[in-house]
Amino acid sequence: MDNFGAHFRGIRLLAGLVVVSGLLGALLNFGYGEDGDGGADAGAETAVAQGGGDAPVEWMRTELYFGARLRDQEGDYEAMWNDYLDTVVTPRFPEGLTVLDASGQWRVKEGQKPRRGASRIIILIHEASGEKLRYLDEIREIWKERAGHLSVLKVSVPVEVSF
């Protein structure tokens, strides 16, 4: 049983390294087109899907990470969250979204013990347009104001989409 446990931990470690190296490779390559300018639309040529017209559409996958509690406020978190989804997020992304309940940890300062807590993740598959990118910034800022949070983590990568 001990050998099996060690072997299983080794497999989990190897799988984790593969995932991390893939993510690191994607992060290092994302955002730099041929001219190396790192602009918002750089690298988007790999994120092409054929839309209803003749022109290809560039797509992004964006994940937004939210703390699942109110900071220094009293109130009903669930009611606030549902109102936020209904009045802020959905009007800007009516095509659809996914919400995941998660748990996570973060460290505010180096050397500090990580804090743990519940979180929510919104996953959006959206066109890589200036309008949608502006909407992402808007919904992050509105949540920070409403919930008293310091940040909302945003991770965006180009994707290939097929309907």
* Backbone conformation region of residue 51, classed left if phi is above 0, alpha if psi is from -120 to 50, else beta: beta
User: Would you tell me which CATH number, out of the four given (3.40.50.720, 2.10.10.90, 3.30.930.10, 3.30.70.120), belongs to the domain 47-159?
Assistant: 3.30.70.120
Across 88-102, b (16+ Cβ under 10 Å) vs e yields bbeebbeeebeeeee
Q: What pTM does this model have?
A: 0.65
Model confidence pLDDT, tens digit, residues 91-122: 999 999 999 999 988 887 899 999 898 999 99
Q: Rounded CA gap, 119 and 99, in Å?
A: 10
Model confidence pLDDT, tens digit, residues 15-35: 343 333 343 333 333 333 334
